[in-house]
Amino acid sequence: MSTSPGGMGGLRGLIHVRAILGNIGVLVLPDQKAISNAYQAFDQNGNLIDETQQAAVKQLGSKLATVLAKLA
């Protein structure tokens, strides 16, 4: 996951980080999430304003938890 103040949400950086982690043997989930316009995407408490974005983040977190449980 990534976020940035720009329109791409840190997607360009996320692509490189995923490639680097994969090259050093880190298990990288195939799903990813980039949130653009971070200065508008979060409320004053740090919560995502858009419920669709929040659901996508929760879904990715759930997938990560499932993978971690299988590795344990």
What gap in Å lies between CA 3 and CA 61, rounded to an integer? 15
Its CATH architecture, for the domain 2-71, is: 3-Layer(aba) Sandwich (3.40)
**pLDDT, tens only, 22-71:** 999 999 999 999 999 999 999 999 999 999 999 999 999 999 999 999 99
Locate the domains of the chain by residue range.
2-71
Reading phi first (left if > 0) and then psi (alpha if -120 to 50, else beta), residue 37 is in left
What is the pLDDT at residue 2?
94
**Strand 2-3 vs strand 34-35: parallel, antiparallel, or unpaired?**
parallel
pTM: 0.84
The model's confidence at residue 72, banded by pLDDT at 50, 70 and 90, is: confident
